[in-house]
Amino acid sequence: MVIETRPDPSRNNDRALSAGELAVARHLLIHGPATRGDLGDRLNLSYASTSRAARALIQEGMASEALEQESAVGRPRQVLTAVPTARHVLGCKLTTDTAYGVVCDMYGNVTAAARAALPRPDSSGTVSLAGTVKVIAQLTTRLGRKVPSLDGIGIALGGVVSGRSTVREGTFLGWRDVELAGPVTERTGLPVTVTNDVTALAREQLWFGAGRSHSTFGVITVGAGLGFGVVREGVAVEELIDNGHLLAHVPVDPRGPVCGLGHRGCAAAYLNREDVERRVSAAAGRTVTFDDLIRDRAAGDEDAARLLDEAARALGHLIATFAGALQTPCIVLAGEDVAAFAGSRVMDEVIADRLRPGPDEAQRCVLDLITTPLTFNDWARGAAVAGIQNILGAV
Ligand SMILES: [Zn+2]
């Protein structure tokens, strides 16, 4: 016997959830269906609080509840399930020249994707804010047609973002102290959250990836630059104190190559795509891209293999340092270039050596490395998940 409890069609999508409702919604989204009793136990809520939260979520259309007869003699159980399609959010990743958009449901499932060119930068290298807002609004209209309604927007970009709305430094757009959330809300009428792209990725991992098994973990992205995200005790760190410099420029080898800031042998010198390409191109007397290096290695080129091994070694040190400082066994490796290092023997050896116990010690942990090479749509999905968390009122 299954008795469905139907949502109230007059639901109000704008109301932020209470702490209890959010905890229940989050648990259902991340861990799947559960009884009120299970939820109370897992979330340390009283039965009355759990029931109140369940009723509110059903009322909002965000959860449904069914009576399931467990056995012929037992009492029927009320099982709560999230309704992922109750809300949809546009996620938008801004690069130097393109806005990548995806629409996601509450599970972070992508239901539609599109992209649009951003305005060209002016003579000072600045991309027009008004033009960018217009492009995002157009993507919102275009992708909004694919779902019953859009409930919010999450925007992610490289750089420093404050207060989930102001781009303090928009590295790739030439922006400084640009208020972005307000103008997009004005144009679209939707709640907007703006996030550093790696932070958005950390938020996505918190709900739908590494966060399912680890309450504390780090994210390293390898691509156009090195990026870092931190989740501590179930909370994503919104703004890094140093924009990742303390890790990106950690010394690896005092005889190594020089990074763009002039450090000899820091991690960035080995892993920043621009730094690597500049150095290799200068040595070769022609333009050599990171992708060329990967291709050359596959074709048996020893120089390319050595260069990528050196980079993998630097990445191994970076992972070990990050994990040690954060005191987590879990590091997520992501980004456009990370596939080049997945399963690297050199990287594994560096990490094993850093963990190696002394003569009278036992090894305390092994590292859990999760590698997720990313496309721009994956970055946009991270933005969408940050947008979902925003409309649900999650911290
Ligand atoms: Zn450096």
Domains and CATH numbers, the chain: 4-85 (1.10.10.10), 87-204+377-391 (3.30.420.40), 209-373 (3.30.420.40)
Q: 89 has which bridge partners?
A: 104, 152
Residues 144-153 have a mean pLDDT of 95
For ligand 1, the distance from its centroid to the CA atom of residue 267, given in whole angstroms, is: 7
For residues 171-196, give the mean pLDDT. 96
Average pLDDT estimate for 362-374: 90
Q: Are 87 and 105 in contact (CB under 8 A)?
A: yes
pLDDT at 42 over 50: yes
Q: Is the pLDDT score of 128 beyond 70?
A: yes
Judge whether residue 331 has pLDDT over 60: yes
Q: What percent of the chain has pLDDT over 90?
A: 80
pLDDT over 50 (residue 1) = no
Tokens of 375: 């496309």
313: CA distance to ligand 1 center in Å?
Answer: 16
- Mean pLDDT over 320-349 rounds to 94
Q: What is the pLDDT of residues 267-293, one digit of tens each?
A: 999 999 999 999 999 999 999 999 999
Cα-to-centroid distance, 253 and ligand 1 (Å): 11
The pLDDT of residue 336 is above 50: yes
- For ligand 1, the distance from its centroid to the CA atom of residue 197, given in whole angstroms, is 21
Distance 270 CA to ligand 1 centre (A): 9
Give the confidence band of 5 by pLDDT, cuts at 50, 70, 90.
very low
At 171, the pLDDT band (50, 70, 90 cuts) reads confident
pLDDT of residue 14: 57
Which residue, 148, 139, 164, 36, is CA-closest to 84? 148
Residue 11 has pLDDT above 50, yes or no: no
pLDDT band at 165, cuts 50/70/90?
very high
Distance 248 CA to ligand 1 centre (A): 7
Number of H helices, E strands in the chain: 13, 17
Distance between Cα 340 and ligand 1 center (Å):
21
- Angstrom distance (rounded) from CA 329 to CA 7: 42
Q: Is the pLDDT of residue 34 over 90?
A: yes
Amino acid identity, residue 216? T
- Is residue 77 a contact partner of residue 38, using CB atoms and an 8 Å limit? no
* Ligand 1 centroid, distance to 268 Cα (angstroms): 5
pLDDT band, very low/low/confident/very high, at 19 (cuts 50, 70, 90): confident
Q: How far is the CA of 120 from the centre of ligand 1 (A)?
A: 30
* C-alpha of residue 257 to centroid of ligand 1, in Å: 10
The whole-number pLDDT of residue 222 equals 94
Q: Is the pLDDT of residue 70 over 90?
A: no
What's the gap in Å between 2 CA and the centre of ligand 1?
A: 61
Tell me the average pLDDT of the chain: 91
Output 286 or 77, whichever has higher pLDDT: 286
CA quadruple 349, 352, 357, 362: dihedral sign: negative
pLDDT of residue 392: 87
Q: What is the mean pLDDT of residues 97-110?
A: 95
Among 388, 319, 391, CA closest to 106? 388
Predicted confidence at residue 17, as pLDDT, reads 82
Render pLDDT for 208-251 as a digit per residue (tens, 0 to 9): 999 999 999 999 999 888 999 999 999 999 999 999 999 999 99
If DSSP codes are grouped into helix, strand and coil, which group holds residue 212?
A: helix
- Ligand 1 centroid–CA 235 distance in Å is 29
- State the pLDDT at residue 373: 83
Distance 309 CA to ligand 1 centre (A): 18
pLDDT given for residue 39 in this prediction = 92
Spatial distance between the Cα atoms of 390 and 133, rounded to a whole number of angstroms: 19
What pLDDT sits at residue 10? Answer: 44
Asked if residue 322 has pLDDT above 80, the reply is yes
pLDDT at 343 over 90: no
pTM of the model: 0.90
User: Ligand 1 being an ion, which residues bring their Cβ within 5 A of it?
Assistant: 249, 259, 261, 263, 266, 268
Closest to 102 (Cα-Cα) out of 137, 140, 132: 140
Predicted local confidence at residue 364, as pLDDT: 85
- All residues at 6 or more sequence positions from 108 whose CB lies less than 8 Å from its CB, including other chains: 204, 207, 208, 381, 384, 385, 388
Distance 156 CA to ligand 1 centre (A): 25
Over residues 176-195, mean pLDDT? 97
Cα-based torsion angle of the residue sequence 378, 382, 387, 390 in order, rounded to the nearest 10 degrees: 170
Q: In what side-by-side order are the strands of the sheet with 217-222?
A: 235-236, 226-232, 217-222, 330-335, 368-373
Q: What is the arithmetic mean of pLDDT over 143-156?
A: 96
Checking if the pLDDT of 395 tops 70, the result is: no
**Is residue 300's pLDDT more than 60?**
yes
What is the pLDDT confidence band of residue 9, given thresholds at 50, 70 and 90? very low
Whether the pLDDT of residue 2 is over 90: the answer is no
pLDDT of residue 3: 44
